[in-house]
Chains A and B, each alone.
Chain A
Amino acid sequence: AQKVTQAQTEISVVEKEDVTLDCVYETRDTTYYLFWYKQPPSGELVFLIRRNSFDEQNEISGRYSWNFQKSTSSFNFTITASQVVDSAVYFCALSEAKTSGSRLTFGEGTQLTVNP
């Protein structure tokens, strides 16, 4: 069975601070995908990143960066110089590769509040 744990239920920071959202996963599959989604109050899940289990290179996209460590089954997400618009619920998710990333197991989410 697959499981995703996001231990941080809520995080509150002041604008321009860096913040890291933690994600730990469990799976018996050797090939899988990891995801991060952002959910603003409107409800729509906004795709941020997909990472293949064979690709352990860290990735940076603007103020966002992701650290994938297979040895610790973690896929952490860092926002640098946070902004008020980053306030949202962030979900980490996992899927088997055979479903091509279409059946996701989500964590419980982390509510990030960035205060001005």
Chain B
Amino acid sequence: DAGVTQSPTHLIKTRGQQVTLRCSPKSGHDTVSWYQQALGQGPQFIFQYYEEEERQRGNFPDRFSGHQFPNYSSELNVNALLLGDSALYLCASSFLGRGGGGELFFGEGSRLTVL
């Protein structure tokens, strides 16, 4: 049973560029959440997708956007990259349908470096 998978694992971009990160949830899960973890800090909630819609959003600017596909996989897009966007981006999946408990399972993350 595959867990949460993310790609790419590492990438380097320059300021002003755009980036797309991808996530495949754990088998049987229907919800994907994204977190940003800066070096030496705890993860911060970006947003959550369920039934292909953004359901909750943290305190992140509109440069951060996402999408969920019918197969429950998800993308995180960041436009106009800033140096401060350098971080580990973690994807977490859970099951919310039919009153599921929603326990989060995390992937190993995509490490983004902005130069």
Chain A interface (Cβ < 8 Å from any Cβ of B): 4, 37, 42-47, 50, 91, 93, 99-109
Contacts and interface: CB of A to CB of B under 8 A. Distances in A.
Is the contact region of chain A dominated by helix, strand, or loop, or is it mixed? loop
A107 B45 contact: no
Interface of B: 31, 33, 35, 40-45, 48, 56, 58, 88, 90, 92, 94, 96, 100-109, 111
9 contacts: A43-B90, A45-B43, A99-B56, A100-B101, A101-B103, A102-B102, A104-B43, A106-B42, A108-B41
A37 B102 CA distance: 15
A42 B111 CA distance: 11
A23 to B, nearest CB: 11
Given A44-B106, A44-B107, A45-B106, A100 B45 contact: no
Given A47-B104, A100-B96, A102-B94, A109 B41 contact: yes
B103 A50 contact: yes
A93 B94 CA distance: 16
Contact of A91 (B42, B56, B108): B42
Contacts of A105: 45
Contacts of B96: 100, 102
B108 A43 contact: yes
A86 B40 CA distance: 18
A99 B104 CA distance: 11
A22 B55 CA distance: 32
A47 B106 CA distance: 8
A100 B48 CA distance: 12
A91 B96 CA distance: 23
A100 B100 contact: yes
A109 B40 CA distance: 8
Which residue, of B43, B104, B105, has the highest number of chain A Cβ atoms within 10 A?
A: B104
Contacts of A46: 106
A100 B29 CA distance: 14
A47 B104 CA distance: 8
